[in-house]
Amino acid sequence: MTLEQLRIFIAVAEREHMTDAARALNLTQSATSAAIAALEERHDVRLFDRVGRGIALTALGRDFLPEARAVVARAEDAVAFLAASAGLQRGQVRLVASQTVANYWLPPLMQGFHEVYPGIELHLKIMNTHDAGQAITEGAADLGFVEDEVSSPAFTLLPAAEDQLVVVSATPVTDLAAAKWVMRERGSGTRAVLEQALDRVGIVPDVRMELPSNEAVRAAVIAGSGVSALSRLVVKVPLAAGQLVEIDVPIPPRRFYALRPDQRHVSRAAQAFLDYVLK
């Protein structure tokens, strides 16, 4: 049974006339008759009674007609779905991003993309930079966005934006070597960049706390637990409110990166989002 046979059956059943159905389908009468005969023979059924030179649906044919219509309609829906996906009218993109990127940089871009492509769903999971790279490698996400360089043969690293880490404390600090530090967990891009910067100036941080999110680190520093470095995006408000003070430490700007899979197909929807972010 083929979709073409079902379409021909529906046309003939609705008209109960082989010639009229053939004309409507732009087929020859012999091709139309052959399709009906093949359908009946393949399933050993009779869908039409031949009455003189005319035809009429059998009881089985009448019962089968709504089934045939449903199958053809579902197939047409599937074709429309693929056409809409190809035209970026619908689809979904699975994103993973590290915390600073996901909480502060990516949401406005997601909103802007949604305004351009309202039919495409964006699903975001937050994890640290190391785990985001692993998710792309394992195929658990379509695109990744992180705040530190990670390398893998499974994806390409694409520069997406620049960010600035700033060292902050609840009160002025003059001796960073003697200070207590509040750090993100290992695997965090923020921690990796901070440790590199401190190493360049010869400081081995005395880590008092290790916390799993930017917001937890920020709250601990505001409470007086120690010194830390966070993205300016994260501490902009408490700096302006006087809850934190900025300490002058030379930390070069860092980059946010997009992770694009190399070993798997990237959907049109995912590529459209990547193009939007990188434009």
Domain boundaries, the chain: 3-86, 91-158+262-278, 165-252
> Is there a shared CATH topology between the 91-158+262-278 domain and the 165-252 domain?
yes
Q: What does the block give as tokens for 60?
A: 């089985």
Phi-psi region of 173 (alpha: psi -120 to 50; beta: other; left: phi over 0): beta
| Average pLDDT estimate for 25-43 | 93
Q: How confident is the model at residue 115 (pLDDT cuts 50, 70, 90)?
A: very high
Q: How confident is the model at residue 88 (pLDDT cuts 50, 70, 90)?
A: confident
Task: Please give the pLDDT value at position 57.
Answer: 93
Task: Please give the pLDDT value at position 49.
Answer: 92
Q: How confident is the model at residue 226 (pLDDT cuts 50, 70, 90)?
A: very high
Q: What is the CATH number of domain 91-158+262-278?
A: 3.40.190.10
Task: Please give the pLDDT value at position 121.
Answer: 92
Task: Please give the pLDDT value at position 80.
Answer: 78
pTM above threshold 0.85: no
Q: How confident is the model at residue 152 (pLDDT cuts 50, 70, 90)?
A: confident
Q: How confident is the model at residue 38 (pLDDT cuts 50, 70, 90)?
A: very high
**Assigned CATH class of 3-86:** mainly alpha
- Reported as a single tens digit per residue, the pLDDT across 190-215 is 899 899 999 998 999 999 999 999 99
Average pLDDT, the chain: 92
Lowest mean pLDDT among 80-94, 112-126, 158-172: 80-94
Lowest mean pLDDT among 41-55, 101-115, 233-247: 41-55
For the domain made up of 165-252, give the CATH fold.
Answer: D-Maltodextrin-Binding Protein; domain 2 (3.40.190)
Positive or negative, the CA dihedral 173, 197, 209, 144 is positive
Task: Please give the pLDDT value at position 263.
Answer: 80
Cβ(94)–Cβ(144) below 8 Å: no
